Amino acid sequence: MPFDQAEVRWDPACGGGTDGRWRGWFDVRIHADALRRHGLHPEQPAARIAGPPPPGWWQAAAERRTRR
């Protein structure tokens, strides 16, 4: 694992949903200095779309190539 145990904190939680079913989830937190070691940092902007999406034929062609 690329992080030391002291750098990562995870907390499991559960609770009832609006439909009455139980749900579970994890809250994972990683110390900022550990992220910096991997080229990430807390001040880094969130990922966002940088341009128009590729044309539809591009996705279809990529899928055809994976089936060969």
| Residue 52 within a domain | no
Mean pLDDT of the chain: 84
| Residue 53 within a domain | no
Please give the tally of structural domains in the chain.
Answer: 1
| Residue 25 within a domain | yes
**9 pLDDT exceeds 90?**
yes
Long-range contacts of 7-11 (CB under 8 A, 24+ apart): 7/31, 7/33, 7/34, 8/34
| Residue 17 within a domain | yes
pLDDT at 47: 64
Smallest CA-to-CA distance from 29 within 49, 8, 15, 43 is with 8
| Residue 64 within a domain | no
pLDDT tens-digit readout, 23-56? 999 899 989 888 888 888 777 777 667 788 888 8
Domain span at residue 8 reads: 1-41
| Residue 24 within a domain | yes
